[in-house]
Amino acid sequence: MSMEKSGSALPPATDEERDALASKLVDRLSIWSGVAGLLPIPLVDIAAVGGVQLYMLRKLTEIYGVPFSANRGKAVLSSLIGAIVPATTASGVASFFKFVPGLGTVAGTLTMAPVSAGATYIIGKVFIQHFASGGTLLDFNPPDYREFIKSQREKLGTRSGAAPTAQSGPGSRASPKETATTSP
């Protein structure tokens, strides 16, 4: 199974309907990723979170009608996770703490859940932006999304109910390079 066209089961949708469906998916799977981060077994939690993220990527490709390949999906996720290094470093450290009985397990579990949920949320929003602007898994380039990732991190950090900017909204159709050049 090299490349398979997914999304044929979904009826055609407007851009707004696709974005809303994709955002709901990302929100739901971010929570599931956080739940996977609660697993008390070291390294199993990281594998579970990775599985949720790969599933999310597959479902997003179905929503946007983009061809999906599991191997390409894993490679793209790995490269994007490399762009979110502080979050993934925290995941690894949190999972490692679970090797320490008692307090280490509690600290690792309490750290891993929110970091996993936040990283999954950011990854999902990046792919919504990429697919909505006509991108595929083959032309995805994580450095093009640095500013977008930064804005999503800030949005996650504040979560005070402030309205998202036009740049970070799911309905925005600007390419990442246009977004980066129009940012102050």
- What percentage of residues in the chain have a pLDDT greater than 70? 62
Instruction: Report residue 41's pLDDT band, with 50, 70 and 90 as the boundaries.
Output: confident
Burial readout 63-98 (b: 16 or more C-beta within 10 A, e: otherwise): bbbbebbeebbeebbeebbebbeebbebbeebbebb
Give me the mean pLDDT over the 16-41 stretch: 92
Higher pLDDT, 89 or 54: 54
- For the residues of the chain, what is the DSSP string, one character each? ---B---TTSPP--HHHHHHHHHHHHHHHHHHHHHHHT--STTHHHHHHHHHHHHHHHHHHHHHT--B-HHHHHHHHHHHHHHTHHHHHHHHHHHHHTTSTTHHHHHHHHHHHHHHHHHHHHHHHHHHHHHHTT--STT--GGGGHHHHHHHHHHHHH-SSPPPPTTTSTT----HHHHHHH--
Higher pLDDT, 40 or 48: 48
* pTM for the whole structure: 0.71
Burial class (CB in 10 A: 0-12, 13-18, 19+), 137: buried
pLDDT at 174 over 60: no
Give me the mean pLDDT over the 28-57 stretch: 90
pLDDT in tens, 69-80: 988 888 888 878
pLDDT in tens, 114-171: 888 988 999 999 999 999 999 999 999 888 888 888 888 787 776 534 444 434 444 4
Mean pLDDT of the chain: 75
Burial readout 146-163 (b: 16 or more C-beta within 10 A, e: otherwise): ebbbebbbebbeeeeeee
114 within 8 A of 68, measured Cβ to Cβ: no
d(CA 142, CA 117): 19
Ramachandran bin of 13, using left for φ above 0, alpha for ψ from -120 to 50, beta for the remaining angles: beta
Candidate from 21-30, 53-62, 105-114, 117-126 with smallest mean pLDDT: 105-114
- Provide the pLDDT for residue 142: 85
Higher pLDDT, 41 or 60: 60
- Provide the pLDDT for residue 1: 41
